[in-house]
Amino acid sequence: MHLWKTALAALGIGIAASLATAPARAADAGEVVIATTGGAYGRILDELFFKPFTEETGIRVRQVSSSTAEAWAKIKAMSQAGHVEWDLILGVEADLHTQRDLIQKIDCAELPNVAAQGLPGACSDYGVISVVGTIGTLAYNKEAFPNGGPQSWADLFDTQKFPGPRGLMDSGTPWDMLAIALLADGVPADKLYPLDLDRAFAKLDKIKPDVAVWWKSGDQSQQMFRSGEAVAGVLWSGRAFMLKNEGQPLQMVVPGSLRTNGYFIMVKDAPHKSEALKLMDYFMTRPEAHLAFRRQNFNDTMNKAAIDLLTDEERASALTAPENWNAMVQSDYEWIAQNRQMITERWKNWIAQ
């Protein structure tokens, strides 16, 4: 998943420019305005969730297409001007911590469908999980390892036992690559934070000569496997699923992946809070829609009944299947938010050496 990366640029958007491009206030209470990244993803949401919601409730859903970074900058400008025009934003888990001043707390008791049909943890005080993905999953080319490829982060860093060029992340979230390095060095998942930066960089020093690609974008991460520049490395789960879907001989190793979630987040002082809550609650209904969502979007949702509709092959790779969900690593975004600038500067110096 690449949403974290776009969120990092939010502070660069000017308030005046943000207000100039903000949409007009909804004319009545029969509308929910939601900021999404638009494109194919927006069309999937519209087809599977938003239009059916309107048909059932009469409440219109209007999408505002924007990058996550731009959306938060516009929300900040609206808030400072006392003129909030949006109700919801599709954000990422890190936003729950870094943008908390702009977020409206919600009461999960007001979302009965989320409680009844969602997996545990689907709702929190600051949002409802919309998609489940990983920001770091081990993947390798099966043809490059006919006897079996790396099965853990320690294996990925073992270039003697599993030789071949690596592709690692330099996509704007260095704390994720540092966490992976510590896991590879034997740090237990529940002891990761606070990150031991000296130990993490020392581990990365050892593999650095074998890294052929420090990828910066999801497209680049896919291309390194297509071209053979890298035969093992780190991918966002969505990009890994896409490669498998196009027929690439890719194998994912879910245990140990760094889990990250997308969220429906209510904007502070949202003009249509009641309608927005209804939309979030409706989203967690209809498992057939969630199955179609997974197959089109290549990320999982938190609708627990949808898991039962998966094929055996799909279930094996489903991030929300209990055996996979419980084997993934949860990042400490509170700690990351407090140390982000320091880590970023140290990473930039290290990667440039």
Q: What is the pLDDT of residues 317-339, one digit of tens each?
A: 788 888 888 899 999 988 998 99
Q: Are 9 and 75 members of one domain?
A: yes
Question: Are residue 251 and residue 275 in the same domain, yes or no?
Answer: no
If asked whether residues 238 and 170 sit together in one domain, one would say: yes
Read off the pLDDT of residues 134-188 as tens digits, 9 standing for 90 and up. 889 999 999 999 999 999 999 999 999 999 999 999 988 899 999 999 999 999 9
- Per-residue model confidence (pLDDT) at position 190: 94
pLDDT digits (tens, 9 = 90+) for 264-319: 999 999 999 999 999 999 999 999 999 999 988 878 889 999 989 999 988 887 88
44 plus 106 within the same structural domain: yes
My answer on whether 247 and 294 are in the same domain is no
In-domain check, residue 347: no
Give the domain CATH number at 318.
3.40.190.10
Supply the pTM of this predicted model: 0.74
CB 212 within 8 A of CB 165: yes
Give which of 204, 192, 200, 133 is closest to 335, Cα–Cα.
Answer: 192
267 and 120, same structural domain? yes
Q: Quote the domain boundaries for residue 236.
A: 134-259
In a domain, 291, yes or no: yes
192 and 304 both lie in a single domain: no
- 131 Cβ contact list (under 8 Å, min separation 6): 1, 261, 262, 297, 299, 300, 301
Contact assessment for residue 182 and residue 285, using Cβ atoms and an 8 Å cutoff: no
Q: What is the pLDDT of residue 96?
A: 92
Tokens found for residue 190: 């529940």
- Residues 112, 252 share a domain: no
Instruction: Quote the CA–CA distance of 73 and 178 in Å, as a whole number.
Output: 28
Q: Answer yes or no: is 341 within a domain.
A: no
Query: Is residue 142 in some structural domain?
Result: yes
- Where is pLDDT greater, at 229 or 318? 229
Residue 193 · residue 338 · CB < 8 Å: no
* Residue 204 placed within a domain: yes
Q: Are residues 109 and 16 in the same domain?
A: yes
Check whether residue 231 and residue 275 sit in a common domain.
no
207 lies in some domain: yes
For residues 13 and 126, state if they share a domain: yes
Establish if 343 belongs to a structural domain: no
Asked, for residue 335, whether it belongs to a domain, the answer is no
C-alpha to C-alpha distance for 300 and 307, rounded to whole angstroms = 9
Q: Which of 239, 259, 279 is the last residue of a domain?
A: 259
Number of domains in the chain: 2
